[in-house]
Amino acid sequence: MVHHVKDLSPDQRQAVENLLGRPVSEDESVSIKSIRPAAILPPQLPPEQGQKALEKLQQYFAQVDAQRTPVADAEEEEIINEALRSTRAGYRPLH
């Protein structure tokens, strides 16, 4: 079902903006759909192999994190926002 932003209550509009990560304008329409997790990505590995893969990913990210150059919080936030802007058209941070 499609909803016109102009017809949303203030609480509904705030919820939509929080979900989208950006303000919405009066002339926009929104549609929200719920998807069951199994419909998104059914497990392809037996549980023990899935656990092993998860552990390997955690080790990899720990190594990457250990080599990362520390940056200020503001710079880190700007890097994240830039990545979001480059992948989501019209993305604007809420603050």
| Domain ranges, ordered by start, for the chain | 1-32, 44-90
Q: 61 and 54 in contact (C-beta within 8 Å)? A: no
pTM: 0.40
3-state secondary structure at position 1:
coil
Give me the pLDDT at residue 55, please.
Answer: 94
- 69: DSSP letter: P
pLDDT in tens, 15-59: 999 999 999 999 999 998 887 766 566 677 788 888 999 999 999
* 47 phi and psi angles, rounded to 5 deg: -50, -40
4, β-bridge pairs: 29
Q: Can you tell me the distance from the alpha carbon of 46 to that of 39, in angstroms, rounded to the nearest whole number?
A: 18
By mean pLDDT, which of 7-21, 36-50, 74-88 is the weakest?
A: 36-50
In whole angstroms, what is the distance from residue 46 CA to residue 89 CA?
A: 38
For residues 13 and 35, the model is more confident at: 13
